[in-house]
Amino acid sequence: MRDDLEQIEAAFVGTPLAGLPIGHGPAGTVLVQVGRRPTPGDEAWTVAGQLKALAPNLELSQWEVAVALPAGDAWFVHNRP
């Protein structure tokens, strides 16, 4: 079970998500705890792209995710169709 978290950590290297603590959340989600919220604009857009890559079945557009990210301290991400 730890292997999937290691794969996610590896995917975050070199991105604004690098180094954030992650763990398993409820009901098959991944919990990403935010140490510093992304700033609105380019940084939020980049993080939104990374989260969309992690969960491609997320129904929100990258733009919608980017608008929401600067307001959150923790994100539960899941990839379910």
60: tokens are: 């929100």
pTM over 0.95: no
57 has a pLDDT exceeding 90: no
Q: Where are the domains of the chain?
A: 2-77
| 12-45 pLDDT per residue, tens | 777 767 776 677 666 666 666 667 788 999 999 9
Structural element, H or E, at residue 81: none
Residue 24, amino acid: H
